[in-house]
């Protein structure tokens, strides 16, 4: 009989131990506070993380555990240390051999950084509503438009960029294509966006594209299939977001426990004890949901229902736990790490699909499955 | 004041806030409240809103004062909190002595900034050395002081409950803290080294406690202002912003959640401004208003999506301030115990 085993294998436990050790050593509260206050990217931390050998893209579980442990110490700088690859899977899954050979090694080695440019000033959740165009002439495409809230935007050496290659029809998600856009190209302007509520060490930029020429060989996969590729990618990145949120929530609980012990645990009232119990309960549920979604994904069998559940539940857990943590710790939380955790947590409910979008995705996936089942029972054609 | 006068006051404060604060509200978050802004609030009589006229204040009644707080908080909660500290903390305590009373005119006219080191009553307070005084000198450090760049500071000295002192001069803000909320105001420790001080009373902590518990409605008014400011922004945004080819407001989750928050806002407004509220009713107002501010600002930010996460749109500051308000000016567990005692008509929730 096959057993369901909810234990991490020994090698991952070891990775978790090392990741935590690295994060505690390198990301001190003062370090995290400095980058939060100054809104600057901790490049030296990123280099150290790569040099330590902890960032290993050949092992997706280790990337997951790494993000969890880094965010547990500090989400802002922690995300910076490991997000230089953001968008990589689009090339890995749909790129040509030439693209893979040219672009992947420099990112996985940490020499270069990349990003994904999908969101626009007037199109966030509504991916198909993007307006950036790519027009083909000969062996290149000309890109025009603007991208918004692009993570790593100002630092990335290249951005996987979603564009519209044929006019919008009734099927709005048709006619979109993904390109590898080298940010040094003529006509690319990048403006760093300031004054984020949280994750302030991360680099966020607006990208303006003005007659930017991109070689046709930089088209990822087939023209017109960009929407599908991006949605596939979101099934991956949402799991990363979910685990970042779990890390934030766990880090907040760690600090609440420190506080409670410093005050003398014998003085603990039921109101606070129950809040701590509920934090633990929600965090463990979010973690298991995320691992379960990740397990499906890493076996190339993602379940969008599970992925979106992990993302929405994880991020709501992070927000809920950090709120309670602030209430319990009062002035200590307000003047220590926790206020930053509280600010960082909120982005988790927004980026990579808002909680609203995730919940709709869960429901729609269920309806599709029901419809398939219904048609199957009726002996109808497979949907 | 008659209700017409209250109406008139409300529209004039709103106009002031629109003209003088709205345009610079992001700048206030970045660089703090500038002296010229504080002077403008003083010129309008807001700075000494509830200080009696004969002591140099504006002498507004309770409702009038709440209107000032609410309307300023709609645009800049930092501005409202500055006025709260002066009128609800500093002034009532300073009025204990003649010398204290005499300071109110210059405080109301913004000639000198004033504050109270009240946070020793709050969860998580930790004191390193504290402040001590003997004969003619007061010396030491007070932690976690809001609006700390003040020439006049009321604080407790010589332990707990300590003696309440009004210290003038020789006060310096040191060791600035990170600020989740009210970034328009300095938040730091203060170092005191002064020969100019006045004893306001013994049982300092008790006096602070009474004062803090006595400002239920004022805290409720600021919380309501934060709610109103955030909900108004979200409603505006959801009318203009389109997603999946429809305005946000056409979607039920957006329309229903904001409409529901707006209803709670309106009901609380009616409640907190109604006449003859009992002590119990006032605690209830504080507790419900601060809770509403937190849920309303969270939803308002969420409706703004990515834009809500950036300072430019002016909604994230409400989210931060809504969390900071109860942490700095309410006493979470103690307030709930006050409320429970009133509800159960005996001590409850104390074990």
Q: What is the DSSP annotation of A284-340?
A: HHHHHHHHHHHHHHHTT---HHHHHHHHHHHHHHHHHHHHHHHHHHTHHHHHSHHHH
- The string of pLDDT tens digits covering residues B88-100 is 999 999 999 999 9
CB-based burial label for A74 (10 Å; 0-12, 13-18, 19+): buried
As a whole number, mean pLDDT of residues B210-231 equals: 98
Q: Per residue in A224-256, pLDDT tens?
A: 999 999 999 999 999 999 999 999 999 999 999
In angstroms, the CA A248 to CA A256 distance is 12
A6 pLDDT band, cuts 50/70/90, is confident
* Residues A332, B124: C-beta atoms closer than 8 Å: yes
Provide the pLDDT for residue B129.
84
Task: Search chain B and give the residue with CA nearest A199.
Answer: B309
The separation between CA A279 and the C-alpha centre of its own chain, rounded to angstroms, equals 23
Neighbouring residues of B62: CB distance < 8 A, sequence distance ≥ 6: B50, B217
A196 interface with B at CB cutoff 8 Å: yes
Where in B264-332 does DSSP place strands (E)? none
pTM for the whole thing? Answer: 0.96
User: In degrees rounded to 5, what are phi and psi of residue A302?
Assistant: -65, 150
Q: Which pairs with CB-CB distance under 8 Å and at least 24 residues apart come from B299-302?
A: B299/B234, B299/B257, B299/B258, B299/B261, B300/B230, B300/B231, B300/B233, B300/B234, B300/B258, B300/B261, B301/A197, B301/A346, B301/B230, B302/A349, B302/A350, B302/A354, B302/A355, B302/A356
Look at residues B173, B170, B210, B166 and name the one whose alpha carbon lies nearest to residue B190. Answer: B173
Strand pairing of A114-117 and A158-164? parallel
Say if residues B180 and B326 touch (Cβ distance below 8 Å).
no
Partner residue opposite A326 with nearest CB, options B305, B306, B323: B323
Q: Which of A323, A329, A350 sits opposite B305 (nearest CB)?
A: A350
* B155-166: pLDDT as tens digits: 999 998 999 999
Poorest-pLDDT segment among A266-270, B136-140, B209-213, B274-278:
A266-270
Rounded to an integer, what distance in angstroms lies between the CA atom of residue A324 and that of residue A327?
Answer: 5
Q: Does A252 touch chain B (CB under 8 A)?
A: no
Residue of A nearest to B316 (CA): A197
Which range in A2-6, A379-383, B11-15 is most confidently predicted, on average pLDDT?
Answer: B11-15
Closest CA to A59 of A11, A112, A104, A111: A11
Quick check: bond before B161 cis, omega within 30?
Answer: yes
Give the model confidence (pLDDT) of A98-111 as tens digits. Answer: 999 999 999 999 99
Q: pLDDT at residue B281 above 90? A: yes
Which of helix, strand or coil describes residue A360? helix
Q: Residues A191, A34: contact at Cβ < 8 Å?
A: no
ipTM above 0.95, yes or no: yes
Residue A195 sits at the chain B interface (C-beta within 8 Å)? yes
Q: Is B245 on the interface with A (CB under 8 A)?
A: yes
Are B244 and A329 in contact (CB < 8 Å)? no
| Number of Cα atoms under 13 Å in the Cβ half of residue A363 | 6
What tens digit of pLDDT does each residue of B296-329 get? Answer: 999 999 999 999 999 999 999 999 999 999 999 9
Q: How far is B180 from chain A (nearest CA, A)?
A: 6
Which among B333, B343, B327 has a CA at the least distance from the CA of B290?
B327
- Bridge partners (DSSP) of residue B201 are B164
Indicate the DSSP class of residue A120: B
For residue A383, the model assigns a pLDDT of 44
Give the burial string for A108-123 (b: 16+ CB within 10 Å, else e).
bebebbbbbbbbbeeb
**Res. A378: pLDDT tops 70:** no
- Answer whether residue A382 shows pLDDT above 70: no
A122 to chain B, any CB pair closer than 8 A? The answer is: yes
Q: Look at chain A and count its residues.
A: 383
Distance in Å, alpha carbon of A139 to nearest chain B alpha carbon = 33
CB-based contact, A168 to chain B, within 8 Å: no
Task: Based on the residue annotation, tell me whether A352 is a catalytic residue of this protein.
Answer: yes
Could you tell me which of A308, A298, A294, A260 has the C-alpha nearest to residue A280? A260
Rounded to 5°, the CA angle B6-B293-B349 comes to: 105
For chain B, the 3-state helix, strand and coil shares in percent, each to the nearest 5, are 60, 15, 25
- A158 contacts A114 by C-beta, under 8 angstroms: yes
Percent residues over pLDDT 90 in chain A:
93
Cβ distance of A119 and B311 shorter than 8 Å: no
Contact check, Cβ <8 Å, B243/A124: yes
Local confidence band at A10 (pLDDT 50, 70, 90 cut-offs):
very high
Predicted local distance difference test score (pLDDT) of residue A170: 86
How far apart are alpha carbons A382 and A369 in whole angstroms?
A: 11
Is pLDDT of A2 > 80?
Answer: no
Backbone angles phi, psi at B175, to 5 degrees: 60, 65
Q: Do B243 and A126 touch (CB under 8 A)?
A: yes
Mean pLDDT of all residues belonging to chain A: 95
The pLDDT of residue A3 is 77
Sign, CA torsion B247/B253/B254/B255: positive
In terms of CA atoms, which chain B residue is nearest residue A323?
B323
* The dihedral sign for the CA sequence A374, A377, A379, A383: positive
Contact of A339 with chain B, judged by CB distance below 8 Å, is answered with: yes
Q: Please state the rounded mean pLDDT for residues B219-233.
A: 98
Between CA B245 and CA B251, with CA B246 as vertex, the angle to 5 degrees is 135
């Amino acid at each position: 009989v096959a057993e369901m085993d909810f234990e991490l294998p020994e090698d991952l436990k070891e990775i978790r131990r090392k990741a935590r050790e690295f994060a505690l050593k390198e990301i001190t509260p003062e370090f995290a506070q400095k980058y939060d206050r100054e809104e600057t990217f901790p490049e030296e931390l990123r280099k150290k993380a790569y040099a330590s050998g902890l960032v290993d893209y050949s092992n997706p579980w280790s990337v997951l555990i790494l993000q969890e442990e880094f965010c547990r110490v500090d989400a802002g700088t922690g995300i910076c240390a490991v997000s230089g690859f953001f968008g990589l899977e689009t090339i890995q899954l749909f790129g040509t051999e030439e693209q893979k050979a040219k672009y992947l090694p420099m990112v996985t080695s940490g020499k270069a950084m990349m990003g994904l440019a999908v969101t626009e000033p007037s199109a966030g959740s509504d991916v198909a509503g993007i307006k950036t165009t790519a027009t083909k002439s000969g062996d290149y495409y000309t890109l025009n438009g603007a991208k918004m809230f692009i993570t790593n935007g100002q630092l990335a050496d290249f951005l996987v960029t979603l564009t519209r290659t044929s006019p919008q029809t009734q099927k709005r998600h048709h006619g979109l294509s993904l390109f590898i856009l080298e940010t040094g190209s003529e006509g690319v302007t990048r403006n760093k966006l300031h004054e984020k509520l949280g994750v302030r060490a991360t680099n966020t930029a607006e990208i303006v594209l003005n007659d930017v020429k991109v070689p046709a060989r930089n088209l990822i996969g087939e023209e017109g299939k960009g929407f599908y590729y991006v949605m596939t990618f979101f099934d991956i990145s949402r799991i990363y977001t979910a685990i970042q949120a779990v890390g934030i929530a766990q880090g907040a609980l760690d600090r609440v426990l420190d506080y409670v012990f410093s005050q003398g645990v014998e003085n603990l009232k039921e109101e606070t004890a129950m809040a701590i119990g509920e934090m633990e309960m929600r965090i463990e549920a979010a973690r298991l949901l995320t691992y379960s979604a990740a397990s499906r994904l890493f076996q190339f069998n993602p379940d969008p229902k599970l992925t979106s559940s992990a993302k929405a539940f994880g991020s709501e857990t992070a927000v809920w736990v950090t709120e309670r943590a602030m209430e319990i710790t009062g002035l200590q939380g307000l003047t220590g790490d926790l206020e930053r955790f509280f600010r960082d947590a909120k982005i988790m409910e927004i980026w990579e699909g808002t909680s609203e979008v995730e919940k709709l995705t869960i429901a729609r996936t269920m309806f599709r499955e029901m419809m398939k089942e219904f048609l199957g029972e009726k002996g109808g054609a497979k949907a | 004041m008659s209700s017409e006068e209250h109406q008139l006051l409300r529209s004039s404060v709103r106009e002031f806030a629109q003209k003088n604060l709205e345009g610079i509200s992001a700048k206030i978050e970045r660089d703090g409240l500038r002296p010229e802004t504080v002077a403008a609030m003083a010129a309008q009589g807001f700075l000494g809103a509830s200080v009696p006229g004969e002591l140099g204040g504006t002498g507004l009644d309770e409702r009038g004062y709440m209107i000032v707080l609410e309307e300023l908080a709609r645009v800049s909660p930092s501005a409202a909190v500055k006025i709260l500290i002066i009128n609800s903390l500093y002034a009532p305590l300073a009025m204990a002595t003649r010398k204290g009373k005499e300071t109110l005119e210059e405080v109301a006219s913004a000639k000198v900034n004033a504050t109270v080191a009240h946070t020793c009553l709050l969860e998580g307070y930790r004191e390193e050395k504290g402040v001590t005084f003997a004969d003619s000198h007061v010396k030491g450090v007070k932690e976690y002081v809001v609006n700390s760049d003040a020439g006049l500071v009321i604080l407790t000295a010589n332990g707990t409950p300590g003696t309440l002192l009004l210290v003038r001069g020789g006060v310096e803000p040191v060791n600035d803290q990170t600020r989740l909320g009210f970034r328009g105001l300095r938040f730091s420790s203060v170092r005191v080294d002064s020969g100019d001080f006045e004893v306001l009373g013994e049982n300092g902590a008790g006096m602070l406690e009474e004062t803090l518990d006595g400002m239920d409605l004022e805290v409720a008014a600021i919380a309501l202002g934060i709610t109103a400011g955030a909900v108004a922004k979200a409603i505006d945004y959801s009318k203009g912003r389109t997603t999946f080819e429809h305005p946000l407001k056409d979607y039920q989750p957006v329309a229903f959640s904001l409409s529901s928050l707006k209803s709670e806002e309106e009901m609380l407004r009616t409640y907190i401004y109604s006449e003859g509220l009992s002590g119990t009713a006032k605690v209830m107002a504080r507790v419900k208003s601060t809770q509403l501010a937190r849920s309303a600002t969270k939803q308002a930010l969420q409706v703004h999506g990515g834009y809500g996460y950036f300072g430019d749109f002016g909604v994230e500051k409400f989210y931060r301030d809504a969390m900071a308000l109860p942490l700095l000016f309410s006493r979470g567990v103690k307030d709930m115990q006050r409320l429970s005692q009133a509800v159960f008509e005996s001590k409850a929730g104390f074990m």
